Amino acid sequence: MKIRIVPIPNHSRYLHIEPKYGYGKIIVPVGCDCHPAYVLEKLNIRIQSLPFDWLDIDPVNCLSYVNQNFANKFEKFIADPTRNEKGNIISRAYPSAEFLHEKDLIESLADQQKMQRRALRLMDLYGKEPCAFMHNIPSRALSSIGNIEQISDHIQRFMDLIKPSDTLHIYIRYDESLEENRSHCELLKSKLEEYPRVVVADHIRHKGRSGIWGDPEQYPDLLRSIGIEIHRKFPKVFVK
């Protein structure tokens, strides 16, 4: 909601009132793209930047990439940055993860230090707090039994790596319909039923109608569907 409070042509100012939510754990976006971080930002839950927030990561190998960075404490996270064949910046050690929002990462020491700070921030939080890891898998990535086996294996390794107090919350994201790779999506969900600390649900973003981010009005229900029981807090109020 926004209310105009300075009705001067070309200099108007608005009072913005946005819903704000909370949760009992630190919610950590772990890819495969920017959507989880965007959801948290729109709900005013995301209060700090973390390393995987705005990366574009191959969905099949996403959690393998996260696993490796946790295991080596982000030693190679931005090591030897270069450009791939699409012109996007990657760390040479991890060609499956693109830094789409860090256009100057190769040349800019300040940008490199910023990404290192995000990694250190996550390691510090992870060492102190129970974490709810939020992950999305596009339905298009579940196009074969082989992909499902790979993703399942990476999830198992991830659950073996994180703390017993941590949880993993996954939504399978469909563009328009639950019929997109339906049988493969159902197979993955059945495989994940054996993990008590993993919650998985479906989410249709209706891309044709609502764009790549989907409808923000659906975000609270999305989080609750994957076991992140958010609660309303005092709204965010600002003038802009």
Region of 44 (left: φ > 0; alpha: ψ -120 to 50; beta: rest) is: left
Confidence of residue 19 (pLDDT cuts 50, 70, 90): confident
DSSP secondary-structure letter at 94? B
Q: How many CB atoms lie within 10 A of CB 41?
A: 15
The amino acid that residue 159 corresponds to is M
The token duo for 210 is 């609502």
At 106-158, the pLDDT tens digits run 999 999 999 999 999 999 999 999 999 999 999 999 999 999 999 999 999 99
The token duo for 30 is 């772990």
Average pLDDT over residues 174-178: 98
At 54-103, the pLDDT tens digits run 999 999 999 999 999 999 999 999 999 999 999 999 999 999 999 999 99
| Whole-prediction pTM | 0.92
Buried b (16+ CB within 10 A) or exposed e, 143-182: eeeebbebbbebbbebbeebeeebbbbbbbbbeeeeebbe
